Amino acid sequence: MQDAPVIPVIVLNDVAHAVPLARALVAGGIRMLEVTLRTPQALACMEIIAKEVPEAVVGAGTIRSVADVAASVKAGAVFGVSPGYTPAMGRACRDAGLALLPGVATGSEIMMAQEDGYTELKFFPAMQAGGPAMLKAWGGPFFDVRFCPTGGVTLQNAPEFLALPNVACVGGSWIVPADAIKAGDWARITQLARDTASLKKA
């Protein structure tokens, strides 16, 4: 969460795109890559990025089960991001040595994650669940928690999130637009990464 102001939320449908995309992001100053488990090719993409782009730090997104944890670690992921949280998933990640950014959207979910030792959390879906105003409200009761808001975050509204003291970074897919990936426009993605890396954190 401290490496850059944004973690890209990546959806890959073609393994051939994985390495050039990762290299384009790294060239633009973004190393933490969240490859989401939303396509059948996701695990193979993680594996090839981990092997071919050592400068990148490969993460698995959309982790929803203990089986996802095991498969992601086997593919070379060193961190995981989940849309929600369960104690079983938290235990599986700790047992596997996988750093987890658990998803939360309510106070009760924050407390559940905190009970299991997690104090850095993904706020998801950020805009739909209350946006910056919700994070400001949580700053009082959850003063010891830092968040990565994801979901509806854009280059335009990211600065508002990053200005909050309890926000460490944001997650966004605008850095990796599907049309640029499909077209192999890696120069565009590198420029988007550079624009994003220049955002200031509070």
Q: Among this protein's residues, is 200 annotated catalytic?
A: no
Query: Given 120, 122, 136, 182, which residue is catalytic?
Result: 122
Nearest Cα to 179, choosing from 62, 13, 7? Answer: 13
Query: Which token pair is 178?
Result: 């599907």
Q: Which amino acid is at 34?
A: E
Give the total residue count for the chain: 202
Contact between 199 and 29 (Cβ < 8 Å): no
Query: Given 34, 47, 52, 115, which residue is catalytic?
Result: 34
Query: Which token pair is 70?
Result: 């095991």
Question: What's the order of all strands across the beta sheet hosting 146-149?
Answer: 103-104, 120-123, 146-149
Q: Please list, in sequence order, all residues whose beta carbon lies within 8 angstroms of the beta carbon of residue 196, skipping any fewer than 6 positions away.
A: 4, 5, 6, 8, 28, 30, 155, 158, 172, 174, 175
Q: Among this protein's residues, is 34 annotated catalytic?
A: yes
Q: Which residues are catalytic?
A: 34, 122
